[in-house]
Amino acid sequence: MNASTSKRITLIGAGLAGALLATLLARRGWVVDVYEKRGDPRLKGYQGGRSINLALAERGRHALRLAGADEAVMAQAVMMRGRMVHFLDGRCDLQRYGRDDSEVIWSVHRGELNLILLQIAQEAGANLHFHRGLAEVDFDARIARFADDRDGSLHEAAFDSLVGADGAGSALRAAMSRHADLGERTEFLGHSYKELEIPPTPDGGFSIEPNALHIWPRGRYMCIALPNDERTFTVTLFLPNEGEPSFASVRDGAQARALFERDFADALPLIPNLEQDFERNPAGLLATLYLDRWYLDERAVLLGDAAHAMVPFHGQGMNCAFEDCVALAQHLERGDDRAAAFAAFQAQRLPNARAIQAMALENYLEMRDRVDDDDYLLQRALERE
């Protein structure tokens, strides 16, 4: 392919991975076009309302530094030194992640992070096209078709190679699957989640310890809470889909209150809009996506959640997606053979993604069932000696 000797590339999705990869490539002189199905979130800015946050770890920060985004992101991040475990009897215990504040993770606001990454991608020279949802791909003619979500109009763009950063429900992955067997399988966890909010205190402060990831472990289920820089916490309730309690048995705000009165009593007074939050916010499914193949010769490659969506219990999905971006940019810079670059990228990253996916599943057991276990606490205490 002649075109692979040029430095043109087309990204699908301007979420976290798409915006970061656009920056890394544009900064190296690539002509980058990014197609995003939603509108430009920068036009309205962050409007307040519901905050959803993510744990950012060193793996992700390394990628942000390479893209020149770390400083802007860290300006609104909140440090989390460890897990604050909330026992059923109301006691709390802070389990540090490391020996000191050099070994911590950070809570970042998903919306703000996306705004920052889009802005630096544009400043780096990437061409961002909003309201362009990938609808279909003609891989033979190398034409991608996009739908405008406002009026349903269709738009075409020629491409050399497509990069799928379009998330767990990737339209590019679906289009690639029609050409090659990607060995795709999705394993659902049988548990789902719902987000609730702890607002600031009346004088504008944090209601509970800000520099911690709070966990209420309860055996088969749990709650967690991560701080936001606007002094709120985003609480995530994880429950099985079946059994007692579950999202099948806890269906409305009153039943959610009863669950909290019984199992999360110290959290209940912190969430004044529990009933409304529970009834308004949808329950999100949790699943792990496995693919045996992430690319279609030199014409398409997948990364981030499009390639390896995982359950969120290790807080590593975004961090892993950011590492993918660094690796793919490096492989693309090594030579003109894009199929070889995509193959090398997959060989490097697929085993890592599988390992993190397995750790994320294991960590659900640890978080919901082991962090309040006496033997575990003793072991952690000895480690800290």
CA 225 to chain centre: 16
Q: Which is nearer to ligand FAD, 264 or 313 (CB)?
A: 313
Residue 380: DSSP 8-state: H
Site for ligand FAD contains 133 (CB under 6 A): yes
Query: Which single residue brings its beta carbon nearest to ligand FAD?
Result: 15
Do residues 176 and 182 touch, judged by C-beta distance below 8 A? yes
d(CA 63, CA 45): 24
Number of Cα atoms under 13 Å in the Cβ half of residue 308? 29
Site for ligand FAD contains 237 (CB under 6 A): no
d(CA 286, CA 168): 11
Do residues 54 and 107 touch, judged by C-beta distance below 8 A? yes
Site for ligand FAD contains 163 (CB under 6 A): no
d(CA 248, CA 244): 8
Sign of CA dihedral 353, 357, 360, 365: negative
Site for ligand FAD contains 17 (CB under 6 A): yes
Question: In terms of DSSP H, where are the helices of 45-109?
Answer: 58-66, 70-74
Stretch that binds ligand FAD, among 35-43, 67-75, 96-104, 355-363 (CB under 6 A): 35-43
Q: Which is nearer to ligand FAD, 18 or 217 (CB)?
A: 18
Q: Which is nearer to ligand FAD, 35 or 342 (CB)?
A: 35
Site for ligand FAD contains 232 (CB under 6 A): no
Single residue of 11, 118, 120, 165 touching ligand FAD by CB under 6 A: 165
Site for ligand FAD contains 82 (CB under 6 A): no
Q: Which is nearer to ligand FAD, 171 or 222 (CB)?
A: 171
Single residue of 10, 26, 33, 35 touching ligand FAD by CB under 6 A: 35
The nearest distance, CB 372 to ligand FAD, in angstroms, is 21
CA 334 to chain centre: 28
Site string for ligand FAD, 166-205 (x = CB under 6 A): xx---x---------------------x------------
Q: Which is nearer to ligand FAD, 1 or 79 (CB)?
A: 79
Sign of CA dihedral 59, 63, 65, 66: positive
- Beta bridge partners, 137, equal 144
Do residues 245 and 252 touch, judged by C-beta distance below 8 A? no
- Beta bridge partners, 33, equal 10, 127
Stretch that binds ligand FAD, among 11-19, 96-104, 180-188, 196-204 (CB under 6 A): 11-19
Cα–Cα nearest to 76, from 49, 102, 51, 50: 51
Stretch that binds ligand FAD, among 12-20, 88-96, 180-188, 347-355 (CB under 6 A): 12-20
Task: State which amino acid sits at residue 328.
Answer: L
How many amino acids of this chain bind ligand FAD (CB under 6 A)?
Answer: 32
Stretch that binds ligand FAD, among 31-39, 66-74, 289-297, 337-345 (CB under 6 A): 31-39
Q: Which is nearer to ligand FAD, 51 or 319 (CB)?
A: 319
Structure tokens at 111: 């919306």
Pairing of strands 284-290, 185-198: antiparallel
Contacting ligand FAD within 299-358 (CB under 6 A): 304-306, 312, 315-319, 321
Q: Contact residues for ligand FAD (CB under 6 A)?
A: 12-18, 35-38, 54-55, 133-134, 165-167, 171, 193, 236, 284, 304-306, 312, 315-319, 321
